[in-house]
């Protein structure tokens, strides 16, 4: 099924106005000044990781490709720009025919990154590259932040299943993107049906406290749910008395009861008590799911608890305290004329306060130690050292305006698991620290 063809409401007909106004005013001035056609190279990168993070996670690349493909100025959009007098008629004529015809290279989605990593490189005329700044950054900053939080939670979970359930804690469209990013970072399923429909992510869900409170007794609620959804369902047992609820749940569903969910209280203590009670009642295969404002630290604290799955909402969709990666999109090289054969020259602004950039079209590679564990992120602008030739990270995503690399979410998810496993073990420590790999500029 090609879900974009179904007219799903989370799709946007055009991404062209996901643009800051200064991108169009720069375009207008460049057209007038004769510099719009100069071949240029832009790179998306971050100067630092959020405090305490040991690595970043590239997520949203697939959405970026969709956004570039749908970056079209249709009559309605052009009419708005004309009515508001945002740009002149010459610029409107140029925008009417806009199609990105350049090349995009990037870290494969799911890969890890570090300060200075050229996560995405966009090449083409200045005009066609500069207008993509905001939409590219909005996707990469959001999705990579969620994926990084998800990755930390996945590592803390130690193989136990993770359910993304944060749709009610964020914007309705951001929730769909967050589900996708969480899946990239290691989550197993989502409660959000739009994410399941749009991206094929497995969906789960049974009932809330409202369903129990609807009925005259907890027993009536459990019986209705089991009769409707089967013995393999998950019953919520903390509406009233947990021990009594567990007893009632097993009486109604039998030892085939799929799972119980605990959403409040001392989760470590309650999980141990519930596990013992389930085992005593013969429900040895019944799983325990815990929810209740979890983050990676809470998940790690439950490592010794008999928990089978975690449901995470607010902390996940807000990046566990870091809702952005602070990525920027900077021009790093440009030609001195509009001649297609004009050589590229490195450019970079000079700035104080930690906002410096390094000019030049960059390559990136990850150097491994003798044991095959990553030891450095190497970024350069000159020839690639022979020993790093087969360790390069940038992949060709768009060639001559045509997307040449599309991947399934499962492929992306598996890549992330492998990339994280290739880092030093300290990468998954939750204690504060510096990036687990240094970035070496050569």
Do strands 234-236 and 39-46 pair parallel, antiparallel, or not at all (unpaired)? unpaired
Within 8 A by CB and 6+ apart from 112, the residues are 55, 56, 57, 58, 416, 419, 420, 423
Task: Compute the average pLDDT of residues 234-258.
Answer: 98
Do strands 374-380 and 439-441 pair parallel, antiparallel, or not at all (unpaired)? parallel
Distance of alpha carbon 218 from alpha carbon 329, whole angstroms: 55
Specify the pTM.
Answer: 0.94
pLDDT in tens, 83-134: 999 999 999 999 999 999 999 999 999 999 999 999 999 999 999 999 999 9
Do strands 161-164 and 189-190 pair parallel, antiparallel, or not at all (unpaired)? parallel
* 182 pLDDT tier (thresholds 50, 70, 90): very high
User: Burial, 7: exposed, middle or buried (Cβ in 10 Å; 0-12, 13-18, 19+)?
Assistant: exposed
pLDDT in tens, 155-165: 999 999 999 99
What is the pLDDT, as a whole number, of residue 357?
82
What is the pLDDT, as a whole number, of residue 142?
98
- The two tokens of residue 53 are 């993070």
What is the pLDDT, as a whole number, of residue 13?
66
pLDDT in tens, 301-344: 999 999 999 999 999 999 999 999 999 999 999 999 999 889 99
Residue 53 has pLDDT above 50, yes or no: yes
254: left (phi over 0), alpha (psi -120 to 50) or beta: left
- The two tokens of residue 231 are 């013995």
3-state secondary structure the chain: CCHHHHCCCCCCCCCCCCCCHHHHHHHHHHHHHCCCCCEEEEEEEECCCCCCCCCEECCCHHHHHHHHHCCCCCHHHHHHHHHCCCCCHHHHHHHHCCCCCCEEEECCCCCEECCCCCCEEEEEEHHHHHCCHHHHHHHHHHHHHHHHHHHHHHHHHCCCEEEECCHHHCCHHHHHHHHHHHHHCCCCEECCHHHHHHHCCCECCCCCHHHHHHCCCHHHHHHHHHHHHCCCCEEECCCCCHHHHHHHHHHHHHHHCCEEEECCCCHHHHHHHHHHHHHHCCCCCCEEEECCCCCHHHHHHCCCCCCCEEEECHHHHCHHHCCCCCEEEEEEEEECCCCCCCCEEECCCCCCCCCCCCCCCCEEEEEECCCCCEEEEEEECCCCCHHHHHHECCEEEEECCEECCCCCHHHHHHHHHHHHHCCCHHHHCCCCCCCCCCEEEC
- The two tokens of residue 201 are 């992510």
What is the pLDDT, as a whole number, of residue 75?
94
What is the pLDDT, as a whole number, of residue 215?
98
pLDDT in tens, 183-228: 999 999 999 999 999 999 999 999 999 999 999 999 999 999 999 9
Instruction: Provide the percentage of residues in the chain whose pLDDT is more than 70.
Output: 97
CB 65 within 8 A of CB 398: yes
Residue 7 has pLDDT above 80, yes or no: no
* Average pLDDT of the residues of the chain: 95
CB 355 within 8 A of CB 65: no
Order of strands across the sheet that contains 309-312? 189-190, 161-164, 309-312, 287-290, 259-262, 234-236
CB 393 within 8 A of CB 162: no
Residue 14 has pLDDT above 90, yes or no: no
Cα 349 to its chain centre, rounded Å, is: 29
* 435 pLDDT tier (thresholds 50, 70, 90): very high
CB 47 within 8 A of CB 327: no
Task: Compute the average pLDDT of residues 169-192.
Answer: 97
Distance of alpha carbon 146 from alpha carbon 144, whole angstroms: 5
């Amino acid at each position: 099924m090609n879900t974009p063809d179904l007219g799903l409401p989370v799709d946007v007909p055009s991404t062209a106005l996901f643009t800051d106004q200064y991108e169009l005013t720069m375009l207008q001035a460049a057209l007038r000044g004769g510099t719009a056609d100069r071949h240029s190279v832009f790179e998306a990168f971050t100067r630092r990781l959020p405090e305490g993070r040991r690595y970043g996670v590239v997520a949203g690349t697939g959405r970026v490709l969709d956004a570039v493909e749908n970056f079209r100025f249709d009559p309605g959009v052009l009419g708005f720009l004309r009515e508001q007098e945002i740009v002149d008629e010459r610029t409107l004529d140029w925008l009417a025919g806009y199609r990105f015809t350049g090349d995009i290279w990037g870290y494969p989605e799911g890969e890890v990154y570090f300060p200075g990593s050229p996560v995405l490189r966009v090449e083409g005329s200045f005009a066609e590259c500069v207008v993509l700044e905001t939409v590219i950054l909005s996707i990469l900053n959001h999705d990579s932040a969620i994926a990084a939080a998800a990755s930390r939670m996945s590592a803390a979970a130690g193989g136990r299943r993770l359910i993304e359930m944060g749709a009610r804690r964020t914007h309705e469209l951001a929730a769909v993107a967050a589900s996708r990013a969480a899946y990239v970072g290691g989550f197993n399923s989502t409660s959000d049906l739009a994410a399941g429909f749009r991206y094929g992510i497995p969906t789960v869900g049974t009932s809330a406290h409202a369903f129990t409170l609807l009925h005259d007794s907890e027993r009536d609620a459990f019986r209705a749910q089991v009769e409707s959804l089967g013995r393999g369902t998950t019953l919520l047992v903390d509406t009233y008395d947990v021990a009594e609820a567990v007893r009632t749940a097993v009486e109604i569903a039998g030892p085939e009861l799929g799972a119980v969910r605990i959403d409040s209280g001392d989760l470590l203590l309650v999980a141990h008590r519930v596990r013992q009670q389930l085992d005593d009642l013969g429900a040895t295969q019944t799983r325990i799911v815990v929810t209740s404002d979890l983050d990676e630290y809470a998940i790690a604290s439950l490592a010794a608890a008999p928990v089978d799955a975690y449901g995470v909402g607010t902390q996940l969709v807000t990046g566990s305290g870091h809702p952005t990666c602070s990525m920027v999109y900077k021009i790093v090289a440009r030609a001195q004329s509009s001649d297609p054969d004009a050589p590229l020259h490195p450019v970079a602004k000079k700035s104080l306060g930690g906002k410096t950039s390094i000019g030049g079209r960059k390559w990136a590679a990850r150097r491994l130690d003798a044991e095959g564990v990553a030891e450095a992120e190497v970024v350069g602008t000159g020839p690639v050292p022979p020993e790093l030739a087969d360790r390069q990270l940038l992949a060709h995503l768009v060639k001559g305006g045509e997307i040449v690399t599309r991947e399934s979410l499962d492929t992306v998810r598996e890549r992330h698991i492998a990339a994280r496993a290739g880092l030093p073990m300290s990468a998954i420590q939750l204690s504060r620290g510096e990036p687990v790999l240094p970035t070496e500029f050569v």
